[in-house]
Structures are given as structure tokens and as C-alpha cells.
Amino acid sequence: MTTGVPSAGADLVLRGRRFGPEHPAVMAVINRTPDSFYAAARYDDAGADAAVARAEQEGADLVDLGGVRAGRGPEVTVAEEIDRVVPLIARVRQRHPDLLVSVDTWRSEVARAAADAGADLLNDTWAGHDPALVEVAAERGLGVVCSHTGGLPPRTDPFRVSYPVPPDAPVPTDPRDGVLIDVLDTLRAAAARAAALGVPPESVLVDPTHDFGKNTWHSLHLLRRTAALVELGYPVLVALSRKDFIGETLDLPPQDRLEGTLAATALAAWQGARVFRAHDVQATRRTVDLVAAVRGEGVPARVTRGLL
């Protein structure tokens, strides 16, 4: 008898803490940038400290600290990026010892400084552009996020990208699966390299990286096929929060994309994604906890209806 519930996916382990299907991990976005695409997520030093405290109160398991806008913008040097994020990492580890700390960077120099300050995870959103970054993760015992950008270098936007289905792909194949095949091949290879270097497989996350190197149709299809990513055997991270593919689908600016984000989050959670990078921590926490309960892995906080 089948339950109709997709695979739960692989557990995530960071700093000795395990995240299974009963408790999907929520990763709070904390940007130390003046030009983040979502204005509400732009923090100075004081604002970032307050945002971290609020994220922990609202149920975040990790904070993802970033010092450079993902998209196009003014140049930020390695030294500037380190100055923006490394002191914050140190403060988070001192003031919030139970929070796991991720740093959003593609630069190995920043990764090494972040490791020295106490980071637990390197979130490489630019798909190994600096191949030494994953080596830092292996050397320092950190987790790492393997991503997919379709070969684009950091801080560039996609333009008329296409992912044709390879001629040797299994038949029958959905004609939209070209992007999925490319993502699976890229993530499989990147995760295998990380594991071969010494990063424990349960600390290697794979991220299809919606929007990066993709148009809206590509991102929608990857969300639809999250279960195929889960089958890679590594914990799946999804960064869906207020992204352009949600905005274009609903014709909404970033500040009005919460409902679409939560709908996408629920779909990914149902299919076994394990980590959810989010601007709206409390809403995301409630969404993934409800999905975990529907899947039969989480439990309700209380059950009194019909019993009292």
C-alpha cells in the first residue's frame, strides 16, 4: 500500500545537530548590504543584530549572513565583504550560541575568514565559481551548499538562457526537463566533489538556485520537480523567498510576494526539501511545520479537539 507521500529526503547535520523530516530547517536571510533586492532585508550593523535576535525568536534554525547583493550592483571588494559579515558572525556565535551560522559568499577568502569567526555553513550561491571555497569547507569541517547557475559568473543576470533536453536523455522525457537534467548533473557532480574532499555527505546541501541562470518557466518547473532533486540523496535547500519567478507569475513586486512564497514553500516541503531560506521566518516556520504534520512526520503542538 502506498501512502502517496513523496520521499522525506536526506537529513541535514551541522555542528552535531540533525534536522530530519519532523523538523525542516528554516534559514533566516540577514543581508549586510545596502542594495538587497528586497528593501526590508537591508540591515546596518545594529539592524542586523536585531534581525538575528528576532529570527531566533520566530523559529529560525540558521541565519544566512550576506555581504554582497546577488545581482548586479556596485563592486564590493573581498575586504569590504569580510568587514560586513565577519564581525557579525562572531557576534551571532557569542550572543546566540544555539543558532547555526551560514555565510552567503562565493569567495574562498571570505569563507576562510568566516570559518575563523565561527561559521557552520558556506552557502556558495555561485556554483563553485571559486573552486577553493569547497576546499575551505572540507579543511575546516564546515557544511557547504552546492548550487546551479547555468554557468553564469557571479552577479550576472540570465539572458535568453535555454536548456534543451539532451539527445541521449531517457525516453519519454518531459520537454521541459532540460533544465532539470542540467541542474541534476551539476549538483550531483558538485556534491560528489565536496564529499570526496572530506565534507560529510549529510553536511552537503544541494540547491537548484531558482532564478539564477534561469527564467521564470525554468524556476517553476524546478519547483514542480523538487522530488527529483531529493532523490540525489543530499539534503535539499530551496531559496524561494520573494524571488522574481514568484513576482512574475503573480505580477507582484517583492514586498507583495509573501503568499506566493509560502505556496511555493509548501510545495517544496511536501516533496521533501529540508532547508528553507526565508525573509519571513515565522510564516515559513509555520508553513513547513504544518506540511511536516500532514506528511505524518511532524506532530501537532496540541490536540484537544474532540477529546475534551
Catalytic site positions: 243, 277
Helices (H), the chain: 45-57, 78-95, 108-117, 132-140, 178-197, 216-224, 226-230, 244-250, 258-270, 281-295
Beta bridge partners, 277, equal 27, 239
CA 99 from centroid of its chain's CA atoms = 16
SS3 label, residue 16 = coil
Beta bridge partners, 102, equal 64, 121
Query: Phi/psi of residue 18, each to 5°?
Result: -105, 135
Q: Please check whether residue 70 is in contact with residue 147, taking contact to mean a CB–CB distance below 8 angstroms.
A: no
Q: Please check whether residue 31 is in contact with residue 22, taking contact to mean a CB–CB distance below 8 angstroms.
A: no
Q: Please check whether residue 124 is in contact with residue 81, taking contact to mean a CB–CB distance below 8 angstroms.
A: no
Residue type present at position 193: R
Distance CA 99, CA 114 (A): 15
Hey, how many other C-beta atoms are within 10 angstroms of the C-beta on 45? 12
Q: What share of the chain is helix, strand, coil (3-state, %, to 5)?
A: 45, 15, 45
Q: Please check whether residue 122 is in contact with residue 133, taking contact to mean a CB–CB distance below 8 angstroms.
A: yes
Residue type present at position 42: R
Give the contacts of 287 (CB within 8 A, at least 6 positions apart): 262, 265, 266, 269
SS3 label, residue 100 = strand
